[in-house]
Amino acid sequence: MKFDTPATTNPIDQLKIIGHATNRIDGPLKTTGRATYAYEWHDAGARPAYGYVVGSAIAKGRITSIDLSRAKAAPGVIAIVSAENAGKLGKGKYNTAKLLGGPEIDHYHQAVAVVVADTFEQARAAAQLVRVDYSAEKGSFDLSATRDGAAKPPGEGDEKAETAVGDFAGAFAAAPVQLDATYTTPDQSHAMMEPHASMAAWEGDKLTLWTSNQMIAWTTGDVAKTLGLPKENVRLVSPFIGGGFGGKLFLRSDAILAALGARAANRPVKVALQRPLIINNTTHRPATIQRIRIGATREGKISAIGHESWSGNLPEGSPETAVMQTRLLYAGENRMTALRLAMLDLPEGNSMRAPGEAPGMMALEIAMDEMAERLNLDPVEFRARNDTQVDPEHPDRPFSQRQLVECMRIGAERFGWSRRNAKPGGQRDGRWLVGMGMAAAFRNNLLMKSGARVRLDSSGTVTVETDMTDIGTGSYTIIAQTAAEMMGLPLDKVVVRLGDSSFPVSAGSGGQFGANNSTSGVYAACVKLREAVAQKLGFNSADVSFSDGQVSSGNQSVPLGQAAADSELVAEDSIEYGDLAKTHQQSTFGAHFVELGVDVATAEIRIRRMLAVCAAGRVLNPKTARSQVIGAMTMGVGAALMEELAVDKRTGFFVNHDLAGYEVPVHADIPHQETIFLDETDPMSSPMKAKGIGELGLCGVAAALANAVYNATGIRVRDYPITLDKLLHHMPDA
């Protein structure tokens, strides 16, 4: 189905099921332990063996020798696979580093071998007996030290490395009010609960992988390329995923080493990466250095805005696109953005929840706060004065919907922003310095082709099949709601099957594009099924209606299942968007507000309350959407106050490579959280009139916290995370 104009007659607009707070249909499976995650499959026929991955002990250099003799002789060992006996491996489209290293080593903890044994404990014990000798080389591990040598990365379209409109340098120099500041964000880990895990089984030259992966079609293709198989010989199964945040977008070493181990052992093999390898062997959010320059008139209108960002990655890697939101968020006639990429020998940097905008907003929204103070303007008012209804770099391209100012105004009223003391350090509550902060929220809305298959049986049950995944976001439920709305059924008459490469290709889960696109694909398939039902019943498809399990046309009404009385009806289709992305800019908007206290003696930060206001098209399920937003807000607290992968700049690895050393928020860190969804539909976006929301709830949160810390203490921290040492020596005299 082509979608390039707003839908007119749209069954989704009935809103009998769509748009209502609905419990997750997969909830009972998860709360009773019946949802099968990647490491829990036992359906491969033979009893599985277990693989344990050996990671490189150096960050850069070569393996000079591997001694496997002691490991092979260990109890229970079946096979050991390394680069020496793995055979020729290709490289998938989405892999930056090789998934099995040797003899060259690209980064610390790169997989160099997998030991397969009868039990996990035997594999782990034998892996400790593998002796690897290396010739280490000097690597580059410090972004700040390589900043001057960073180069312009390749890129085009929305990902191009540089943009320029007007005369930024001249306008900035002439601006009566100026800001020129540098901000840094650290390397961060996805830190999802479920590890990267896979089970592989071969049947002849056909491979089945039960794995934890967000993008089934991408990864199926990359498995085939890596192992030199026809794509049709690879099946991926991933119905439940215990968190991903982008860390499971791409093929990783657990899947490939499970496949290689299973082939060598001639039986199914399970591999789960141990936590240190998850952090050092898989992807992470790269650190950034960001310089922001803003020039404005004394009345608070931006005349020049420039944003430059430096990040690092392995050769063939991409930069953290931290300037993307600055190209779109605020007006200003003279503009400049630039990305620079340094070559680092650290583990691969790649997508983590809201790549680009999340770290970019961490800097931009502090800069906007600093500028508002220089102008003696309220932070909300300054942002509102620089609103724009068109893409500032392409004024002929309007936003399909943009309610940023409404989000800020509503949030300010609900939060009691008018009670904020604008003077930093001006409010006390006993030993606590109290401050409020806010930031705009922004994340683009991506349109991607997405398909589904729907089946109707004689009982009137509709089964939806799509390779869409559910990473804890509620995909099962909103897809069921969509099919139920389209076919006039209650939810209990819809069955949803996800995460299997034998199903039609969907958008997948990532970039907050999953919900809108995957449900639109289900919509398209249901449109075809409605047509097939009408034809089978001899009804006029132009006036047929589907409601309460009945199909009606004129004065005739029959049960839906009657259309499939003789045989199952099957329909399949995809949603495609034509040139919509070229004619209209599609983005989501919001505002974050935070109140916190800072202990005047210890500089301990305690959040008191948080509010997010979101404008993201039609909210398909307010209950699951709220869960996504408060989870994102919590992640923003971590980014602001504690999350940081500490780099050993001598030897090139992340020191705190477990969940004991890598700190994330716990329940005690998170106070009352409130979310408000604006009543908005965007007919330009899709037939669902929805957008994404899971990453909008993150973008801007950290800056709102940083701004609140400044309001409480008068201390402006531009280097995340905001830890005690950055405040303690500058605190007001107790």
Longest CA pairwise span in the chain (Å): 83
Residues 4, 8, 11, CA angle at the centre, nearest 5°? 110
Contact 696, 441 (CB under 8 A): yes
Q: Say which DSSP state 726 is in.
A: G
Q: How far apart are CA 723 and CA 212, in angstroms?
A: 34
Cβ count within 10 A of residue 169? 14
Q: Which stretches of 297-420 are assigned E, i.e. beta strand?
A: 302-313, 334-343, 390-391, 394-398
Residue 376's contacts (CB-CB under 8 Å, 6 or more residues apart) are none
Q: How far apart are CA 284 and CA 348, in angstroms?
A: 7
Q: How far apart are CA 306 and CA 301, in angstroms?
A: 15
Lookup: tokens for 362? 């961490």
Question: Helix, strand, or coil here: 485?
Answer: helix
Query: To 10 degrees, what angle do helices 701-713 and 357-374 make?
Result: 30
Q: How far apart are CA 598 and CA 602, in angstroms?
A: 8
17 vs 21, 186, 302, 465, 487, CA distance in Å? 9, 43, 44, 20, 11
* Residues facing 306 on adjacent strands: 293, 336
Q: For residue 662, with 0-12 CB atoms within 10 Å meaning exposed, 13-18 middle and 19 or more buried, which class applies?
A: buried
Contact 183, 367 (CB under 8 A): yes
Cβ count within 10 A of residue 456? 25
Catalytic residue among 357, 373, 576, 695: 695
Please state the three-class secondary structure of 176-237 as a single string.
CEEEEEEEEECCECCCCCCCCEEEEEEECCEEEEEECCCCHHHHHHHHHHHHCCCHHHEEEE
Number of Cα atoms under 13 Å in the Cβ half of residue 617:
30
Q: How far apart are CA 304 and CA 314, in angstroms?
A: 33
Q: For residue 37, with 0-12 CB atoms within 10 Å meaning exposed, 13-18 middle and 19 or more buried, which class applies?
A: middle
Contact 319, 340 (CB under 8 A): yes
Lookup: tokens for 580? 């919509």
Question: Helix, strand, or coil here: 417?
Answer: helix
Q: How far apart are CA 480 and CA 467, in angstroms?
A: 14
Q: Tokens 């949603």 correspond to what residue?
A: 575
Name the residue type at position 623. Answer: K
Q: Say which DSSP state 494 is in.
A: E
* Residues facing 50 on adjacent strands: 117, 270
What sign has the CA pseudo-torsion 556, 558, 560, 566? negative
How distant is the alpha carbon of residue 37 from its chain centre?
20
Q: How far apart are CA 89 and CA 490, in angstroms?
A: 49
Q: Tokens 């496997």 correspond to what residue?
A: 68
Lookup: tokens for 84? 């020496």
Q: Which stretches of 344-402 are assigned E, i.e. beta strand?
A: 390-391, 394-398
Q: How far apart are CA 47 and CA 268, in angstroms?
A: 7
Give the H/E segment covering residue 407: helix 404-415
Question: Helix, strand, or coil here: 683?
Answer: coil
Active-site residue flag, 674: no
Question: Helix, strand, or coil here: 292?
Answer: strand
Active site residues: 695
